[in-house]
């Protein structure tokens, strides 16, 4: 591609992105295609001769776009958000333009030092203990795996790295923990049979007394507890494990404590939500995803550690071809995680934080929390709906309940969510809480306003009416 064509399409694509984000509301939230549809519209093999960008862009609009689900839609209420923002997108453009591979300090010094500084800003913003060091990983799943590996090494005196796994180690999580802990325990060699699932209370938070009992019981049988993964903001219901008692238990039994705050961590920038992290001084590592709720393009997951030494000792490797003269003076982030090659992710985070400012980010998060409270109020007022979990942040778990049997309610609510999502106007996802099938309304798109939440509520009520039958006078 010649320079002028590059420039022309560069301008055109920026225009396209601006217009797309401005009108994304007009698309159905969920892709309206069937499995295989995109596949069948694509040629079976690559073109021998290069094609024009006009042609490629046309196919992007006609083949790819209709098969996309629109995560930046203001009526995106599914999973958790993965919100982006103009400053983040602009930074991604520069990142792509420089095409730097930031594996060690020397390969991109400013990238390494910007990462260090921006993460120190974030540490302060969240109120994490002084002296905690940050590194950017790709996702929360990777961070949990990295934490499990570090915990494994600490528990074995850094022997399993050399000798392989010699003894069984145990991991403790709440029954509400994310599936990535199970995946991490598989990969890190703990084995899924050696995960202890600690019961959660009626607020879906880990019960510390049960945690302690499980650790004591295992120790009595000469088994070796190694790691606890606590969750601040569980995926199903935003349940918050109490870090203080859990941390004290970990300290007294010498266990590694990792905190997964993938979604909820962003809310810790609000003074009124700092209570979620009470006891965080006890944790060994802490993770949250700016790519979920902090307006930073996927992927960007932030990992803070109390003792970088054990992390580095777990991952470091010193082949001749990676040695440099400044190794002793700088941070080489290749030793802070799994991959060698690293993207320049700090740039977009820096752009976002500077462009919004702490207050600007707080405003966005507060708006989402406010909208969730509003929605919660409508649910509570309606006699056919009920709230199923405490609303700590911007996630509301609810269901239709007309007092039929639990089994029938599960069927009813399953039908309800499918009807709601079929409208294409909103997208919600579901979960089960203590055996109940519930709908999750997760608010966090940058452009979501009250009217979008209200429209969702109207659709929910109208679909519920449809299902229950128009002769039901209660609605
Ligand atoms: C979303 C989520 C994850 C997974 O995040 P990835 O970055 O996609 O790996 C892990 N834990 C919790 C609590 C989450 O909400």
Is the Cβ atom of 235 under 6 angstroms away from ligand 1? yes
- In this structure, what CATH number is given to the domain that contains residue 467? 3.90.1150.170
Q: Are 73 and 445 in contact (CB under 8 A)?
A: yes
Residues 231 and 323 in one domain: yes
The answer to the question of residue 62 being in a domain is no
pLDDT, position 472: 56
Residue 136: band (very low, low, confident or very high) from pLDDT cuts 50, 70, 90: very high
Is the Cβ atom of 180 under 6 angstroms away from ligand 1? yes
Residues 306 and 375 in one domain: no
The Å distance, Cα 178 to ligand 1 centre, comes to: 7
pLDDT, position 471: 47
pLDDT in tens, 236-267: 999 999 999 999 999 999 999 999 999 999 99
Of 344, 368, 402, the domain-final residue: 344
The answer to the question of residue 261 being in a domain is yes
The answer to the question of residue 22 being in a domain is yes
Residues 222 and 313 in one domain: yes
Res 221 pLDDT > 70: yes
Residues 340 and 374 in one domain: no
Taking alpha carbons only, the member of 442, 457, 424 closest to residue 83 is 442
Is the Cβ atom of 107 under 6 angstroms away from ligand 1? no
The Å distance, Cα 262 to ligand 1 centre, comes to: 5
Residues 109 and 234 in one domain: yes
Average pLDDT over residues 386-391: 98
Average pLDDT over residues 279-287: 98
The Å distance, Cα 421 to ligand 1 centre, comes to: 23
The answer to the question of residue 49 being in a domain is no
Residues 308 and 427 in one domain: no
The Å distance, Cα 32 to ligand 1 centre, comes to: 26
Task: Specify which residues 227 forms β-bridges with.
Answer: 171, 256
Number of domains into which the chain is organized:
2
Average pLDDT over residues 445-452: 98
- In this structure, what CATH number is given to the domain that contains residue 273? 3.40.640.10
pLDDT in tens, 322-334: 888 888 888 899 9
Average pLDDT over residues 270-281: 98
Res 379 pLDDT > 90: yes
Residues 340 and 410 in one domain: no
pLDDT, position 470: 57
Is the Cβ atom of 262 under 6 angstroms away from ligand 1? yes
pLDDT in tens, 32-45: 999 999 999 999 99
Domain residue limits at 134: 100-344
Is the Cβ atom of 80 under 6 angstroms away from ligand 1? yes
Is the Cβ atom of 303 under 6 angstroms away from ligand 1? no
The Å distance, Cα 292 to ligand 1 centre, comes to: 9
Res 473 pLDDT > 60: no
Res 475 pLDDT > 60: no
pLDDT in tens, 68-112: 999 999 999 999 999 999 999 999 999 999 999 999 999 999 999
Residue 354: band (very low, low, confident or very high) from pLDDT cuts 50, 70, 90: very high
Residues 163 and 297 in one domain: yes
The Å distance, Cα 263 to ligand 1 centre, comes to: 7
Residues 165 and 265 in one domain: yes
Is the Cβ atom of 241 under 6 angstroms away from ligand 1? no
pTM here is 0.96
pLDDT, position 326: 82
Of 288, 319, 344, the domain-final residue: 344
């Amino acid at each position: 591609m010649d320079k002028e064509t590059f420039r022309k399409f560069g301008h055109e694509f920026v225009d396209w992105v601006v217009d797309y984000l401005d009108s994304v509301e007009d698309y159905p939230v969920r892709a309206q295609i069937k499995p295989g549809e995109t596949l069948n519209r694509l040629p079976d093999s690559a073109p021998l001769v290069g094609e024009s960008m006009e042609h490629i862009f046309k196919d992007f609009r006609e083949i790819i776009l209709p098969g996309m689900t629109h995560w930046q839609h203001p009526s995106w209420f599914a999973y958790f958000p993965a919100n982006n923002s103009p400053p983040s997108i602009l930074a991604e453009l520069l990142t792509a333009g420089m095409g730097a591979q930031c594996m060690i300090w020397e390969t991109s010094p400013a990238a390494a030092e910007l990462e260090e500084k921006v993460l120190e800003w974030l540490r302060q913003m969240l109120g994490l203990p002084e002296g905690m060091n940050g590194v950017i990983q790709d996702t929360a799943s990777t961070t949990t795996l990295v934490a499990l590996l570090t915990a494994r090494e600490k528990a074995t005196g850094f022997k399993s790295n050399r000798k392989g796994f010699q003894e069984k180690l145990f991991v403790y999580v709440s029954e509400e923990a994310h599936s990535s802990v199970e995946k991490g325990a598989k990969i890190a060699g703990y084995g899924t049979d050696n995960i202890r699932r600690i019961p959660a209370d009626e607020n879906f938070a880990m019960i510390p007394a049960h945690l302690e009992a499980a650790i004591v019981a295992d120790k009595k049988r000469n088994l070796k507890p190694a790691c606890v993964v606590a969750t601040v903001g569980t995926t199903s219901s935003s349940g918050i494990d109490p870090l203080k008692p859990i941390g004290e238990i970990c300290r007294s039994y010498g266990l590694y404590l990792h905190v997964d705050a993938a979604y909820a961590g962003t809310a810790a920038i609000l003074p009124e939500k700092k209570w979620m992290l009470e006891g965080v001084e006890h944790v060994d590592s802490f993770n949250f995803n700016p790519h979920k709720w902090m307006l930073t393009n996927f992927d960007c997951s932030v990992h803070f550690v109390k003792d970088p030494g054990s992390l580095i000792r777990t991952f470091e490797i010193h082949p001749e071809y990676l040695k440099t003269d400044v190794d002793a003076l700088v941070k080489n982030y290749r030793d802070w995680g799994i991959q060698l090659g690293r993207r320049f992710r700090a740039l977009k985070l820096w752009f976002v934080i500077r462009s919004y400012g702490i207050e600007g980010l707080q405003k966005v998060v507060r708006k989402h929390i406010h909208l969730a409270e509003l929605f919660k109020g409508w649910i509570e007022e309606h006699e056919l709906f009920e709230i199923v979990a405490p609303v700590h942040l911007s996630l509301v778990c609810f269901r239709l309940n007309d007092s039929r049997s639990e089994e029938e309610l599960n069927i009813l609510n399953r039908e309800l969510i499918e009807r709601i999502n079929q409208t294409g106007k909103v997208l919600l996802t579901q979960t089960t809480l203590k055996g109940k099938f519930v709908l999750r309304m997760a608010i966090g798109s940058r452009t979501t306003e009250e009217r979008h939440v209200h429209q969702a509520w109207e659709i929910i009520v109208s679909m519920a009416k449809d299902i229950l039958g128009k002769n039901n006078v209660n609605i």
